Amino acid sequence: MPLLAVEGLRKSFGDHRAVDGVDFSIEAQRLISLVGSNGAGKTTLVNLITGFLQPDEGRIVFDGQDVTRLPVYGRIKAGIARSFQLVNLFDALSVLDNVRLAIFSRDNKIHQVMRLAERDRAAEAEAREVIGEFGLADKWSVAASGLAQGERKLLDVAVAYALRPKLILLDEPTSGVGTREKSFIMDRVEAVVRSGGLSAVIVEHDMDIVFKYSDRIVMMHEGRVLAEGTPQEIVRDERVAAMLGRREGERGE
């Protein structure tokens, strides 16, 4: 049984079909890249899987459970977490408190935060461990607003990871940072995903990163899955080559 199965998923905005009949599945403990040009429907698909949008049609089965109609919080409880294309952090809070807050919300104790001194120590220890795994140990007390862009992206992933999901969906975790920082972010993400035994769906535009880190690649085009397979299979796919060639051309390279 796959960890996630998406069947016949559709979502339109007005008469624009952003996700137009998507089927795919993900096994446990895999790193999947979701690629495709701007507007292909990647973020919409992530929003559908994580419950931020409701599909018009189709079904999402996660870990043996139909989660199609579950709200975001229900899906987090089922084991699905995400990060955002534009990071979703509390800028005024420290690195430590951003992660600690995720742990409290996961444990459904957000309303009792002030009374939970005991739990707080456990949450702090856990938060520090997560922060360390993402290479932010020496930044734990810095306000999120005071981090460099790459560190903000890492912290956003750390907050999602602190929910201890079985599946984590990362919407462009390396966007807006330089090439060296991209590798730094992806090395951390890969290490955590592999050691934690979870699956990750990573939306990524940089094909060098995609080919280096993915077990499988799902390529979307105009709301549909154009191709799906291992990096070796994808690199040989003529439709993908045509898409990538066109994109290189668009960039004028």
Ligand X SMILES: Nc1ncnc2c1ncn2[C@@H]1O[C@H](COP(=O)(O)OP(=O)(O)OP(=O)(O)O)[C@@H](O)[C@H]1O
Residues forming the site for ligand X (CB under 6 A): 13, 16, 18, 36, 38-44, 85
Instruction: Give Cα separations from 244 to 19, 108, 207, 210, 236 (angstroms).
Output: 21, 44, 9, 13, 12
Residue 214, interface with Mg ion (CB under 5 A)?
A: no
In the complex with Mg ion, which residue's Cβ is closer, 101 or 209?
A: 209
Instruction: Write down the least CB distance from residue 253 to ligand X, Å.
Output: 18
Q: Looking only at residues 66 through 125 of this chain, which bind Mg ion when binding is defined by CB under 5 A?
A: 85
Instruction: Write down the least CB distance from residue 32 to ligand X, Å.
Output: 15
Instruction: Write down the least CB distance from residue 13 to ligand X, Å.
Output: 3
Helix, strand and coil content of the chain, in percent to the nearest 5, comes to: 45, 25, 30
Of 43, 47, 174, 214, the one binding Mg ion (CB under 5 A) is 43
In the complex with ligand X, which residue's Cβ is closer, 97 or 172?
A: 172
Alpha helices in the chain (DSSP H): 42-50, 72-78, 95-106, 117-133, 149-161, 179-196, 207-213, 231-235, 238-250
38 contact choice in ligand X, Mg ion, none (CB below 5 to 8 Å, kind-dependent): ligand X
C-beta separation of 10 from 20 below 8 A? yes
In the complex with ligand X, which residue's Cβ is closer, 24 or 134?
A: 24
Instruction: Write down the least CB distance from residue 20 to Mg ion, Å.
Output: 16
- Residue 31, phi-psi category: left (phi > 0), alpha (psi -120 to 50), beta (remainder): beta
Instruction: Write down the least CB distance from residue 89 to Mg ion, Å.
Output: 18
Q: State how far the Cα of 139 lies from the Cα of 147, in Å rounded to an integer.
A: 8
175 contact choice in Mg ion, ligand X, none (CB below 5 to 8 Å, kind-dependent): none
Using CB under 5 A, list all residues that contact Mg ion: 42-43, 85
